[in-house]
């Protein structure tokens, strides 16, 4: 019987199966942060249960932490962080606190530690857990009650979703990033185009991507409704993992490699749906609306709602233009911004910072524009400083911050004012995502840097 990669992983982790019921899957790695876990720990405490495998659980302070210091002013954020510290201490869970050398966004830290590995099942009370699928892992977000279930049992009831392949062949043009690719895919298939599916990305263009770029691709799978996003492991995967602190070593490494090489789907195994993309046609993309599917190339213009045949999509466009205060036909390059954010679990890794710095080197952030550069982890921050990237950012007039989710979402001090407009390398442009009334345009790191220089949405090629 031929099987897809996801089917192999699913079968290997099935603890129990009964007709008419969800399968019970074993969980290899459970990631926890301060926002989704307090009620789960309270539930354990009320039931008198322990954490089943604290050694397979890792906690991180990331969503609510400030990026300018170690003092949390907001009382709700402080309560969330303090609760996580108490819970981890009580239940014996490793916690990376803000300011620690290993602290950062959970979806950045786990891969850089070598914890994320091919063939694993990984869950977290955060939708962007799909990031870890870049390694050939089955990784997805879960709700608070499911967090409690995993803490108590190290298992989770799940029904197997349908499968979808996104094949990207043809070389991506120079200057086009994984962020541009995934925005173009979402714009093509729609905000619900992957609903009910686990997506596997393949094709020559995907194989040519670095691991950090693959993480960006899988990170935003959730933004078109997919349950998870995956890339089959290959030599690029193994080279990234080898030597990482918590990756296998010695004979264990050789055994792991043998297993990992067996994971890609068998010849003849069929997906329920296949989407083919010509990578040569992808351009730098920017969003104009309030969901990631509302995006066009930076060369494009704000579309008119009447151009959408689907009445629901058309109405969503009307509402988005009202919120974003944009007029159909406006060239994307004519849209001025006052804030630029480089960071998040989508684009806060070292390659993202290098790409932004390459554009900013020798240039200045435009007057009236505030630019925040926030590393995805303290290790990324340290590496960037070793390479002198922080000096490029600060000389250009950007603010260099400590690690955290920062301006990706309005749960910490890095919020925008009502009516402010940003170019952001984060993953969501929902209404109020970066602060009440804030307007967000999703972009890649190079586009973010070029936009900071011009004060308007721009690509690096627009700069002299």
User: Per residue in 259-295, pLDDT tens?
Assistant: 999 999 999 999 999 999 999 999 999 999 999 999 9
Give the rounded percent of residues in the chain with a pLDDT score beyond 70: 100
pLDDT in tens, 98-144: 989 999 999 999 999 999 999 999 999 999 999 999 999 999 999 99
Asked if 232 and 5 touch (Cβ cutoff 8 Å), the reply is yes
Q: Residue 36: what pLDDT?
A: 86
Tell whether residue 218 is among the known ligand binding residues: no
* 53's tokens: 């495998």
- Residue 124 annotated as binding? no
Q: Record the tokens describing residue 84, joined without a space.
A: 């996580």
* Residue 449 CB neighbours (<10 A): 32
pTM of the model: 0.97
* CB neighbour burial string for 299-313, b if at least 16 within 10 angstroms, e if fewer: eebbbeeeebeeeeb
pLDDT at 70 over 90: no
Q: Is 345 annotated as a binding residue?
A: yes
Region 430-437 average pLDDT: 96
Sorted by where each starts, the structural domains of the chain and their CATH numbers stand as 5-274 (3.30.499.10), 296-462 (3.30.499.10)
| Residue 253 binned pLDDT confidence (cut-offs 50, 70, 90) | very high
């Amino acid at each position: 019987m031929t099987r897809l990669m996801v089917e192999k992983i699913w079968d290997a982790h099935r603890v129990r199966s009964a007709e008419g019921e969800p399968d019970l899957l074993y969980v290899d790695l459970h990631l926890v942060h301060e926002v989704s876990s307090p009620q789960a720990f309270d539930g354990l405490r009320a039931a008198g249960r322990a954490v089943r495998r604290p050694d397979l659980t890792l906690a991180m302070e990331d969503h609510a932490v400030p990026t300018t210091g170690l003092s949390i002013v907001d009382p709700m954020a402080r309560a969330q962080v303090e609760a996580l510290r108490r819970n981890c201490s009580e239940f014996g869970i490793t916690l990376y606190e803000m300011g620690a050398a290993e602290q950062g966004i959970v979806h950045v830290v786990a891969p850089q530690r070598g914890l994320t590995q091919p063939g694993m099942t990984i869950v977290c009370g955060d939708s962007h857990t799909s990031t870890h699928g870049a390694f050939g892992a089955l990784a997805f977000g879960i709700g608070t009650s499911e967090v409690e279930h995993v803490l108590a049992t190290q298992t989770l009831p799940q029904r197997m979703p349908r499968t979808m392949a996104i094949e990207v062949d043809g070389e991506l043009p120079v200057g086009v990033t994984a962020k541009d690719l995934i925005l173009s895919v979402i714009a093509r298939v729609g905000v619900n185009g992957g609903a009910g599916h686990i997506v596997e990305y393949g094709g020559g263009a995907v194989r040519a991507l670095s691991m950090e770029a693959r993480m960006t691709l899988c990170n935003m799978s959730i933004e078109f409704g997919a349950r998870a996003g995956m890339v089959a492991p290959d030599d690029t995967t193994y080279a990234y993992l080898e030597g990482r602190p918590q990756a296998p070593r010695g004979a264990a490494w050789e055994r792991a490699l043998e297993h990992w090489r067996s994971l890609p789907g068998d010849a003849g195994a069929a997906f329920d749906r296949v989407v083919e993309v010509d990578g040569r046609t992808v351009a730098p993309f920017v969003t104009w609306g309030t969901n990631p599917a509302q995006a066009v190339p930076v060369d494009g213009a704000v579309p008119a709602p009447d151009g959408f045949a689907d009445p629901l999509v058309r109405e969503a466009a009307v509402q988005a233009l009202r919120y974003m205060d944009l007029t159909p036909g406006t060239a994307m390059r004519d849209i001025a911004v006052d804030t630029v954010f480089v960071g998040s679990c989508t684009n806060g890794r070292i390659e993202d910072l290098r790409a932004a710095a390459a554009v900013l080197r020798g240039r200045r952030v435009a007057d009236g524009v505030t630019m925040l550069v926030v590393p995805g982890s303290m290790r990324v921050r340290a590496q960037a400083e070793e390479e002198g990237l922080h000096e490029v950012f600060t000389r250009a007039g950007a603010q260099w911050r400590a690690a955290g989710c920062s301006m990706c979402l309005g749960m910490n001090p890095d919020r925008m004012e009502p009516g402010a407009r940003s170019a952001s390398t984060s993953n969501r442009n929902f209404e109020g995502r970066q602060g009440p009334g804030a307007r967000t345009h999703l972009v890649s790191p190079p586009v973010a840097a070029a936009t900071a220089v011009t004060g308007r949405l721009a690509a690096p090629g627009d700069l002299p």
